[in-house]
Structures are given as C-alpha cells and as structure tokens.
Structure 1
Amino acid sequence: MIIEVFLRLCAEGDESVRYVLFVKDNSMLGLRDGVDQGHRARRTGRTRHIPGTGTHNEDMTSADHPRRNDNALGDFLRAQRGAVDIARLALPDDGRHRRVPGLRREELAERAHVSVDYVVRLEQGRTRRVSRAVLESLADALELAPDERAYLFSVADVAQPRASRAASAQRVLRQVQQLLDSMHDVPALVVDRRQDVLAWNAPAAALLTDFDALPPERRNLIRLTFLDPAYRALYGQAWAGIARECVASLRMEAGHYPEDPALAALVGELSVKDSDFRTWWGSHRVRGAKPRSKTYHHPVAGPMTLDVQQLTIEGQSGQSLITYTARPGTPSAEALHFLMQWSADGSRRNTTQLGAARDTESRDRT
C-alpha cells in the first residue's frame, strides 16, 4: 500500500509547484516535486532533485508507482565524506585536482581499511550488509561525532529492529500533568519524539505561544520554529542556528523511526513550505537532545537567556519534559520573574472577568 501526502503551493503566475512525499509500506522513500505547466508537465512527470531525499532528475510515469528509495546509509556516507576537512588531515598531495570537497572514495576506503568498490556499493545502495566492525571503521575514518555515529548505526542493517506500525496516540500521565501545573515559576511542556507538544503549563504558554489557540496538528515546536512568524521572532538573529539544530534533531529521529508516517508528513510539509529546511535537511547533519542555553526576545519581558533541558519521562515511550530556567541573580531571572507575574495577573484578570460575567448573567435570569 502506498500512502501519498500531497502538499500543493501556488507560486506566482499560472505556475504551481507540487511536492509528493511517498510512504511505501510505512517507510519514508523521499520527496518529489514537479512543475505543472499545462499538458507538457502532466505528460512527462519530470521531477527535480531535493537534497537529502535521494530523489534525482528522472521521469516518473505514474504517481502510483514511485521508484523505491531507502538509501539513507549511502546518502549519509556521501554527505559526511564531503564534509571532512582534508586540510586538517594532512593527506599526501598526489597532484590531482579535487573536483568536490572532502575525502575521495579511495581515501575513505584506505582510512577505513575497506575496498574502494565496497565504499561505492555502500554509497550507491547496492549493499546494506555491513558488519559492526566495518561501521566502526567508517565512523572513525569520517571522524563522526557521537550523534552522527549513532545515526550511522541506526540507518544500517545492524541497527535494532524497528516497529512496523505507527505509534499510537500519545497520552500524558495524570502525575506528569500535575507536575506541570505545580511549576508556577518554571515554563515547562511535554513533547513526543517528533516535538509535538502534548501538554504545557501557563508559564510555557506565556513564554512561547498560546498553545490552546493552535489546532493540535500545529502544536509542534519544529513546525512553529519554521512556519510561525511570532515564534520565529523569539529567537531574533540566532534563529538560523537554532533552526538548523531542529533539523538535525529531526533527522536523528527519522533515522531511528523511518516508518513513522506522521514524522514523514512533517518533513514533507516543512520541505515544501521552507527552503531553508529543505536545504538543511539535505545536509544530513544529526544531533541528539542536549541541554543548552537559548536567548528569547520576548515582546513583553524583553530578552532573556534561559537554560533549556529535555528530560526523559520514564515509562512513556518517546515523551520528554522540557524546562526553561534562568540562572539566579541575572537580568534574565528578573525578566522571567516579571513574565511569570504578568502571566499570573492576566490569568487572574480573566478569571475575575469570567466571574463578573457569570454574576451578571445570574442577576439577569432572576
């Protein structure tokens, strides 16, 4: 069974752009896009390459019969080979001109102690049978960071078996919701592995956005980072760096859960609607969740630098608690305290207004 996620955007004039995210047997295959310019485009079905999806210029005679692409391992190896800083490695100069950046295939093969033909077959997706020892050698040769090394193993055949069915709807435990509600001075929320926001407290809504005002399908931190102007403005000039980290984190999850149709749909939507996401997704950069500091430019409280931590919730598959705290005695702590007071005052005003309205309604009935 083939599930097609069609996302259509209209460009200027009569031209429209069509992106199709193919999901076959619950596996993400790639993104295709075509330019619909009358009967010519509809007849040829020509596609163009979107970096990082493995989709290249080719004719597709039918949208119901896409060519399978599951060469995540080869795509990742090529991207990491091209990202190696050869100047730092002090490789011998053989006099040949380098047409592309990074390591040549023969150089990677020599450093990893495998044959050049084996590297070619891996990159072209003609073999997926890789021993753990060979993967370790490749990771060492490419000088992969821990997150990148973990991703390499996750997309190779030696990875642990993955679930074949989509994850069921996530439910937040009552105890976790009580914990959120008790954190009156700490913005906090619960997310799943796709960064869908499952629960939040009032301070988090005051800091980030009014999640209650958003439809459930739009309560996703990565989607907000790219597609919500107000949320994007919170990061100011640091937006690009933070957004790239979001893409790297999502790429990491896609390596672990390629069968997740909701994750595939999110990648498809963002690839269609944001060119930066499309470019950064093609870089194959990966990053796991780590504590870090972020500076938020809040329209009410002003700039504040907060420590952001993502803590795993035991027993709840893929759920994490994200907290936002300021270092004591800093201007950021004062700004966050002001925001919490402002938020609490607003809640009390809304409660008072609601109570007054109910009293008026009761008097009118009598």
Structure 2
Amino acid sequence: MDNRNDIREFLVSRRARITPQQAGLPVYGSNRRVPGLRREEAALLAGVSVDYYTQLERGKLAGASEAVLDAVAKALQLDEAERSHLFDLARTANSSPRRRRRLAHKIRPGLQQVLDALTDAPAFIRNGRLDILAINRLGRALYAPQFDTPHRPVNIARFNFLDPRAHDFFPDWEAAADTSVAILRTEAGRDPYDRNLSDLIGELSTRSDDFRTRWAAHDVRLHHTGGKSFHHPAIGGLSLDFEAFALPTDPGLTLTIYTAATGTPAHDNLKLLASWAATHLSADQPHPADDPTHT
C-alpha cells in the first residue's frame, strides 16, 4: 500500500492550521494566499531546504531520519498523538506488507478471566479498529444497544455512524464520533495493511457523510484516560471515568475500564446497571471472543 496521499494530506492539514504569528515569524503585507504557513516557512522552521520539505510533503517520507521527523514535528507544533502518527507514517513508508509482523487479535483465556474478575466496573478489550473482542458482564450491560444486533464483532465506530440509536446512547455524540475517527486514523497510520480496517473505513466513508468529513480532517488522538457520558435505555444517564491500557503481551489490543467515584450518582447508577444485568442478561450469554470470525 502506498501511503503518500495520507502523508501529504496530514502534513498539509497541519501546516495550514499554524499562522506565522503562532510560529513566531514576521508577517510582511496582508496578501497571503494560504491560511497557515507557507512551505518555505515550514522548511525554515524545520531547518531543511524548501526542496526537501516539498518532497516530504509530497509523501516521500521513506529514508527521512528521526532528526528530520522531529524537526518537522516541532515546526508544525504537533502534539504527542500527531508526532507518533508522523513516525508511524514514516515507518510504513519504509516497510512493506511482507516485512510487517501481522498482529493476532484473538483473546487469550487469561484476559477474559481478568475481565470477569472485574465485577463492579464495565470493562472490555478492543483492537485498533474498535472491534470489541471481549467484555465483562457489566460492560455487556452498559453496551447493550451495540450488542442488540447480529453483527459480530461489535464495532464501536460502526455503531456511532450507522446506528440511529447512537445519538441517544452518547449524549455528546459529536465528541464520541470525533474520538472514534481519531482512533481509526491513528490505527491506519500504524497498520495500513489491515484489510479489515480498510474495509471498515470504506464502508463508513460510503454510508456516512459525518464519518467522511471527519476522516478527511486527518485528526489523531491518544485515548488513555478521561470521561465519557452514556444514556442507557433502561438506566438513564451515566457519566463515567475511563482508563485505557495497552496490553504489551498482546500488541494492538487495549483494555478499557470504566469507573465512578463512590457516592456519586454515576456510582449508584452502576449498581442499578448491575441489577438490570442480573435480570436481563442470561448467565450463559457468550462473550464476543466466542465468535469464530474474530481475527
């Protein structure tokens, strides 16, 4: 796969958002034809020639040194997620599908045991394309609308953009949609050879204008900690904190755990959710990882 278009669009979009004033450069006259930095200004800030920077922006990152990538990241004022994405794009430009290690995304029994041991907190394991591969009982209850479909594995992005219930389930749907696309864009930089990811992006781009617009923005994000709001169809509002942990022994997989501080309405509603799960989820309900189609 040739990722030069992704590189070009990412670098151009980052350059366009920075004004000369933000970069500490003098501005002469008011007849600027570009909203952000010119190429020669970006090259100056990165300490490279205009010709070389132009080649980088045309998508030719193969062979670019770490020092050059660092200089470009600083010149374009990239945040941590964007800098990592730039380095991922460069790694892809320097590799090939045959030389890249394919990541197994099957869930080990020990990981499911960890999930099942978390009885007071919704928790699940996902891959980089937002497939939920394993989940505990309380997580299954929280994400009940997603699992109320025959499609497996459940995919968070597909629910966000193709299921009309998503706007009710996520009170701040715009933020949830932005996050989903940013995670997928980040994953596409890491592994553009993932056929399932490419198929998902193609499906969502074809069927959702909201997705297509966000995808074109080339925004990326590190999703490690924060808060998220839900509106469960049976329980009502839940404002939960989350922590997301990469699993070093299972590359590409992320464990996400939701919690609520003791004494808060959300903590009380988690108890209600557990009671709802006890009466509405059968004890022998299969986990997503039991689906033989997971890869």
TM tier, smaller: 0.7 to 0.9
In terms of fraction of residues, the more strand-rich structure is: 1
CA 235–157 in structure 1, closer or farther in 2 if over 3 Å, else same: closer
Aligned to 1:17: none
Aligned to 2:8: 74
Residues 151-192 of structure 1 deviation map (CA, whole Å, 9 limit, x = unaligned) = 111112587756537846632111221222232221111111
Give, in whole Å, the separation in 2 of the partners of 1:231 and 1:70.
34
| Residue of structure 2 aligned with 1:220, choices 143, 155, 173 | 155
Give, in whole Å, the separation in 2 of the partners of 1:337 and 1:220.
26
Give, in whole Å, the separation in 1 of the partners of 2:122 and 2:104.
24
Q: How does 1:28-39 map to 2 (within 5 A)?
A: none
Aligned to 1:88: 22
Residues 233-256 of structure 1 deviation map (CA, whole Å, 9 limit, x = unaligned) = 2112x1112211211111111111
Write the letter of the residue equivalent to 1:175. G
**Bigger mean CA offset, 193-202 vs 158-167:** 158-167
Aligned to 1:318: 252
Does residue 150 of the first structure (1) align with residue 84 of the second (2)?
Answer: yes
| Residue of structure 2 aligned with 1:271, choices 205, 211, 220 | 205
Please give the secondary structure, in 1, of the residue aligned with 2:256. strand
**How many positions carry a matched residue from both structures?**
282
Determine if contact 1:166/1:259 at 8 Å carries over to the other structure.
no
Does residue 201 of the first structure (1) align with residue 136 of the second (2)?
Answer: yes
Structure 2-normalised TM-score? 0.86
Aligned to 1:256: 190
CA 200–274 in structure 1, closer or farther in 2 if over 3 Å, else same: same
Determine if contact 1:226/1:232 at 8 Å carries over to the other structure.
no
Determine if contact 2:20/2:27 at 8 Å carries over to the other structure.
no
Q: Which has the larger radius of gyration?
A: 1
Structure 1-normalised TM-score? 0.71
Give, in whole Å, the separation in 2 of the partners of 1:272 and 1:125.
25
Give, in whole Å, the separation in 1 of the partners of 2:34 and 2:196.
35
Q: How does 1:87-106 map to 2 (within 5 A)?
A: 87-106=21-40
What is the CA distance between 1:270 and its match in structure 2?
A: 0.9
CA 158–247 in structure 1, closer or farther in 2 if over 3 Å, else same: closer
Gaps of 5+ in 1: 1-26, 30-68, 352-366
CA 90–133 in structure 1, closer or farther in 2 if over 3 Å, else same: closer
CA 162–327 in structure 1, closer or farther in 2 if over 3 Å, else same: farther
CA 127–239 in structure 1, closer or farther in 2 if over 3 Å, else same: closer
Write the letter of the residue equivalent to 2:258. Y
Aligned to 2:106: 171
Aligned to 1:184: 119
| Residue of structure 1 aligned with 2:231, choices 297, 322, 325 | 297
Residues 48-79 of structure 1 deviation map (CA, whole Å, 9 limit, x = unaligned) = xxxxxxxxxxxxxxxxxxxxx63322221111
What is the CA distance between 1:338 and its match in structure 2?
A: 1.0
CA 254–127 in structure 1, closer or farther in 2 if over 3 Å, else same: closer
Residues 258-285 of structure 1 deviation map (CA, whole Å, 9 limit, x = unaligned) = 1111111111111111112111111111
| Residue of structure 1 aligned with 2:47, choices 85, 99, 113 | 113
Determine if contact 2:81/2:221 at 8 Å carries over to the other structure.
yes
Give, in whole Å, the separation in 1 of the partners of 2:137 and 2:29.
63
**Bigger mean CA offset, 244-253 vs 155-164:** 155-164
Aligned to 2:168: 233
CA 119–173 in structure 1, closer or farther in 2 if over 3 Å, else same: same
Please give the secondary structure, in 1, of the residue aligned with 2:87. helix
Aligned to 1:12: none
Highest relative contact order (Cα 8 Å, sep 6+), 1 or 2? 2
Gaps of 5+ in 2: 284-295
Determine if contact 2:183/2:221 at 8 Å carries over to the other structure.
yes
What is the CA distance between 1:325 and its match in structure 2?
A: 1.0
